Structure 1
């Protein structure tokens, strides 16, 4: 494993240790960066209009279209570190 992947795995563990839940916008950003870092560009169809949460997650992930997985991992790590400070 690379150093970046190790740091990403640690950030995934650290996010669960936060004492307060981040706001919804930050949660969406974390979700989108996690998906982009672990899967890559968004795949599949956008959830239907009445699936508000699913649609919001899809749109947040879609905004990262074209971002490399390494860049997404680094941004995720940076955001988790900022939240843990």
Structure 2
């Protein structure tokens, strides 16, 4: 568990230093996996129609509902490794 958390924190740091900026769909996936790993399932109301970015982020996070924090951490690590 401690190893996974350390690897996750390392991947978070590495995500800020990727050689190229990922496309928007990949950025949404990175965001959603991070939120799921650190906060669990999405809560609250979906942002309104005028908040397109907030809505996209909410939807991406909501798709991961039920995924454990450990699973989300591992998926996040794998995704960042694949982008390096």
Instruction: List gaps (5 residues or longer) in structure 2.
Output: none
2: CA distance, partners of 1:55 / 1:8: 26
In the alignment, structure 1 segments of 5+ residues that lack a partner are: none
1:18 paired with 2:10, answer no
In the alignment, the residues of structure 2 paired with residue 29 and residue 45 of structure 1 have an alpha-carbon distance, to the nearest angstrom, of 20
Equivalent residue, structure 1, for 2:33? 33
Q: Displaced runs of 4+ in structure 1, greater than 2 A?
A: none
Residue correspondences, number: 84
Matched residues in 1 for 2:40 and 2:15: separation? 21
Residue 52 of structure 1, CA deviation: 0.2
Paired position in structure 2 for 1:61: 61
Deviation at 1:19, TM superposition (A): 2.0
CA deviation digits over 1:10-40, x for unaligned, max 9? 0000011112100000000000000000000
Q: Distance in 1 between matches of 2:17 and 2:73?
A: 19
Distance in structure 2 (CA, Å) of the matches to 1:44 and 1:55: 12
